Amino acid sequence: MDPITLTLLAVAGLTVTIKLLIDKYMKMADTKNAAIAIIETYSEEVQTVRQQMINSYQKEPYDYEMQDTCRNVLRELCPQGIDEKFTTLKTIDERRDFMKELITRTANAIGVEIRAITICEGPQNIAGSYFYKDKENNLLVKRIFINELYLLVNPSAAISTMFHELRHAVQAESVYENNQWGVSAQRAAQWLCSNENYVNCTEAYALQYNEIDADLFAEQVMDLYTKKEEA
């Protein structure tokens, strides 16, 4: 049985309000999947180029330690598994509080600053997002958004999104502040170029260095978390 079905069963006894939120999530997911399908139909070349970039991606020394650290925090807070942990969190408030704790603990462990955490209903943007600066006043905000609907229906996706957004925070602090992690000059230049010329809402979004880096980082952390330790 897939994780979403398991989670739906786990929250079957929750309130009518939460059930309505789940319905909203499913409608949002349908809309997102339809948009992705349209993009994929017209962007075979984009997918090919993206795969070339993924295949040529080389991890740097700090990546290994950072991913291990993230995995360790997640194992500490979800020792039996993500779905199993979330079945013990019966209300949306409990799930919000847990997600905030996980973000705070992980950010502290990897040494990145998060000043604000917002658990929001609905897109910001779809699963989550990170803002280093406020676009209107150019002030530092270092804010992470996580869509609370994912906490109800697909907590693994919410946690993967958290790792993705925390990696964006690392990228921003590496190029705009002190490079405490020892990021190579080449990668810092790639991240800076992506940040300063950011493309949103087109298929080219998926080809940006900072998005590929954040996608791979989150994917590899989740893989480490689920991998059984060697005897």
Taking only the tens place, the pLDDT of each residue in 180-192 is: 999 999 999 999 9
Of the CA atoms within 13 Å of residue 210, those in its CB half-sphere come to 26
pLDDT at residue number 13: 46
- 92 and 20 Cβ atoms separated by less than 8 Å: no
- Whether the pLDDT of residue 15 is over 60: the answer is no
pLDDT at residue number 219: 96
Taking only the tens place, the pLDDT of each residue in 118-155 is: 998 766 567 899 999 988 888 999 999 999 888 988 99
87 within domain boundaries: yes
Q: How far apart are alpha carbons 158 and 99 in whole angstroms?
A: 9
68 within domain boundaries: yes
| Alpha carbon distances (Å) from 132 to 63, 115, 147 | 21, 10, 18
Of the CA atoms within 13 Å of residue 33, those in its CB half-sphere come to 6
Quick one: what percent of the chain has pLDDT higher than 70?
77
Q: What domain range is 133 assigned to?
A: 3-226
φ, ψ at 11 (rounded to 5°): -100, 10
Q: How far apart are alpha carbons 198 and 185 in whole angstroms?
A: 19
61 within domain boundaries: yes
Taking only the tens place, the pLDDT of each residue in 94-113 is: 999 999 999 999 999 999 99
Q: How far apart are alpha carbons 171 and 119 in whole angstroms?
A: 22
122 within domain boundaries: yes
* Domains held by the chain: number: 1
pLDDT at residue number 93: 92
Mean pLDDT of 13-18: 56
Lowest mean pLDDT, pick from 38-42, 64-68, 152-156: 38-42
176 within domain boundaries: yes
Sequential DSSP letters for 39-89: HHHH-HHHHHHHHHHHHT----HHHHHHHHHHHHHHHHHSTT-HHHHHHT-
Of the CA atoms within 13 Å of residue 200, those in its CB half-sphere come to 5
217 within domain boundaries: yes
Q: For the chain, how big is the Rg over CA atoms in Å?
A: 18
Beta strands in the chain, from DSSP E residues, in sequence order: 116-120, 128-133, 140-147
Q: How confident is the model at residue 18 (pLDDT cuts 50, 70, 90)?
A: low
231 within domain boundaries: no
Q: How far apart are alpha carbons 128 and 111 in whole angstroms?
A: 21
